[in-house]
Each structure stands twice: as structure tokens, then as C-alpha cells.
Amino acid sequence: MIRALSHFFSWIFLPLLMPTYGLLLTLYIPSEQINLDKDALFLLNPDLKKTLLYLFFTFSALAPGISFYALHKRQIISTIDMENQKERNIPLVIMFAYCLILYLMFVFKAPGNILPRFFYALPLSGAIVTGSFMFINRWIKISMHAGGAGILVGYLLAFYRDQAQFEFWILIAAVLASGVTIASRLYLNKHRPIEVYTGWSLAVLITFLCNAYYPFIAK
């Protein structure tokens, strides 16, 4: 039973889905910004919300997922789970590339930060996190599941910091989801504790700083 639940949570909290989860929570749950001069995510045009969600889901989940499946079919990676440490380099490069493409798309198609800064900062933080993971993967099989959970928590922390009103339970739920994800990866013996805790902590730190201080961090 516990093993089945661990597999279930590993799929529900796939790292590729975490940016989309974060945006869904901040776009559709009522919030009120401290700085009223800037556009609140909740008050954006509904059609614009759908377009932005579509872009994020395509570049952070759908396209990388199809790419990983193609790598598996060509036997470049032995499992979709990417259990082999050396096999993770190409998938990490792919994730880095898609995050960077999405960031540059926003920079050039919506220049001058005309959108709320989170739409620029979130894919940029994804690129920085995956780039860091590529470097660290030379020594330890750092957990991408834990990294995805860390991205969600870091993003929500940065978003919450800017809000005069936002549901605090969302942050609690994100932290609990992180704990469930980390526990599942450890129970399934996919990672050592250092690999999940390092992945989560690094992703939280990078994502929070990037989303809290963009565009300064991009200069």
C-alpha cells in the first residue's frame, strides 16, 4: 500500500508539472497585492491567463515529456524515471533549454516587463535550477522530484511576499506536498537523503531569490 502511494505521489508531483501547479494556484485563487500599481495575477484577463498557462504547460511539461519519451524509445535513457545518474545529463540539458526558450520568448515577445514579473522569473529560475543540477549531477544523483517541489515552494514564497492578502494554507499545502514527494522518493529507494534535501533546498533558494528580486537578478 505504501509503495503504491509512493509511486502515485511521484507521478502526481512530477517535477515537470510543478510550475503549472504554481501558476494555477496564483492565477485562480483570489489575492491582493501590496503594490497596487502592478497587475495582480488574479485580476488578469481570463483569456490571457489561459494563454500563459498553455505556454507554461507546453514548455515546462508537455514538450520535455515528449522529449524524454523519445529518448527512452531510442534507448538513450533506460527508464523514464532516469534512475541512472549519467543518463540524466541529456534530460537536464533539455529541461534547461525549454526553460530558457520560454524565458527568452517572454523577454522578446512581451518586452519591458509588461507582464507581471513572475512570468519572466519563473522560467528563468527553472533554467538556473536545472543548470545547477547539471553541475551537481557530476557528484550526486540530485533529485529532480525534490527540485520540482522546491521550485513550487520557492515560487509561492516569493508570490506570498508581495501579497497583502493570500491564502496561507496554500504555502502549508506546498510544503506538505514537498514532504510527501521527498518521503516517496526515499521510500522507493530512488535517492539518498543528501540528494533529496540538497535538491529541494537549492531549488527553493534559487526560485525564491529569482522571483522575489527579478528583474534585478537578470541584469
Which range is least confidently modeled, 9-18, 48-57, 98-107, 168-177? 9-18
pLDDT at position 219 is: 44
pLDDT digits (tens, 9 = 90+) for 148-163: 999 999 999 999 999 8
DSSP conformation letters of the chain? -HHHHHHHHHHHT-GGGHHHHHHHHHHHS--EES-TTS--GGGS-HHHHHHHHHHHHIIIIIHHHHHHHHHHHTTSSS-TT--STGGGHHHHHHHHHHHHHHHHHHHHHSTTT-S-THHHHHHHHHHHHHHHHHHHTTTS---HHHHHHHHHHHHHHHHHHTEEE--HHHHHHHHHHHHHHHHHHHHTTSS-HHHHHHHHHHHHHHHHHHHHHTTGGG-
* pLDDT tier at 190, thresholds 50, 70, 90: confident
What is the rounded distance in angstroms from the CA atom of residue 116 to the CA atom of residue 152? Answer: 17
Residue 134 has pLDDT above 70, yes or no: yes
- Checking if the pLDDT of 123 tops 90, the result is yes
Question: Would you state the pLDDT for residue 6?
Answer: 83
Whether residue 193 has pLDDT greater than 70: yes
Share of the chain above pLDDT 70, in %: 95
User: What integer pLDDT is reported at residue 87 of this predicted model?
Assistant: 77
Q: What is the pLDDT of residue 169?
A: 92
pLDDT band at residue 9, thresholds of 50, 70 and 90? Answer: confident
The pLDDT of residue 38 is: 63
What is the pLDDT, as a whole number, of residue 210? Answer: 95
Residue 18 reports pLDDT greater than 80? yes
Q: Which residues pair with 165 in a beta bridge?
A: 32
What's the pLDDT at 36? 64
Domain boundaries defined on the chain: 2-218
* Nearest-angstrom CA–CA distance, 198 and 190: 14
- The overall average pLDDT reported for the chain is 90
Position 40 scores a pLDDT of 80
Rounded distance, CA 74 to CA 87, Å? Answer: 13
Tell me the pairing of strands 163-165 and 32-33.
Answer: antiparallel
Q: What is the pLDDT of residues 58-112, one digit of tens each?
A: 999 999 999 988 888 887 777 766 777 787 888 899 999 999 999 999 999 988 8
